[in-house]
C-alpha cells in the first residue's frame, strides 16, 4: 500500500511541477490551483509512505518518478528536445528507481 501511495505521490510531483511552470509566477488561476492541490496531495502521500518505508528510499523514488515524468512531459509537449543523452539518462534514472524498490 505504501508503495502505491508513493508512486501516486511521485506522479503528483510531476503534476505540480508542470502546473507551477504553467502558472506563470502564480498569475494564472487554474494552474495555480492545480499546483496547490497537487503539491498538498504529493506531500501528504510522501509523508504517509515514509511511515513504513525508509526515508532515503522513499524520497529518492518520489523525486525520481517526478523528475522522469516532468522531463518526459516536457519532451512530449515540445518544450524540451529529446536528445539521445537525455533519453538515455532518463532511462537510467528509471532503472535506479526500480533498483531502489527491488532492494527495499
Residue with cell 503534476: 15
Please report, for the chain, the start and end positions of each structural domain, with discontinuous segments joined by +.
2-103
Pick from 51, 87, 92, 54: which is nearest to 72 by CA?
Answer: 87
pLDDT digits (tens, 9 = 90+) for 33-43: 999 999 999 99
Rounded mean pLDDT, 8-16: 97
DSSP 78: T
- φ and ψ of 50, to 5 deg: -70, -10
Give pLDDT, residue 86. Answer: 94
Give pLDDT, residue 104. Answer: 76
Amino acid at each position: 500500500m505504501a508503495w502505491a501511495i508513493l508512486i501516486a505521490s511521485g506522479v503528483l510531483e510531476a503534476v505540480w511541477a508542470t502546473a507551477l511552470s504553467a502558472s506563470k509566477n502564480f498569475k494564472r488561476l487554474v494552474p495555480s490551483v492545480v499546483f496547490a492541490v497537487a503539491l498538498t496531495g504529493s506531500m501528504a502521500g510522501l509523508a504517509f509512505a515514509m511511515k513504513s518505508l525508509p526515508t532515503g528510499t522513499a524520497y529518492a523514488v518520489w523525486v525520481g518518478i517526478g523528475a522522469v515524468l516532468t522531463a518526459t512531459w516536457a519532451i512530449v509537449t515540445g518544450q524540451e528536445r529529446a536528445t539521445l543523452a537525455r533519453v538515455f539518462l532518463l532511462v537510467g534514472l528509471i532503472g535506479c528507481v526500480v533498483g531502489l524498490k527491488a532492494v527495499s
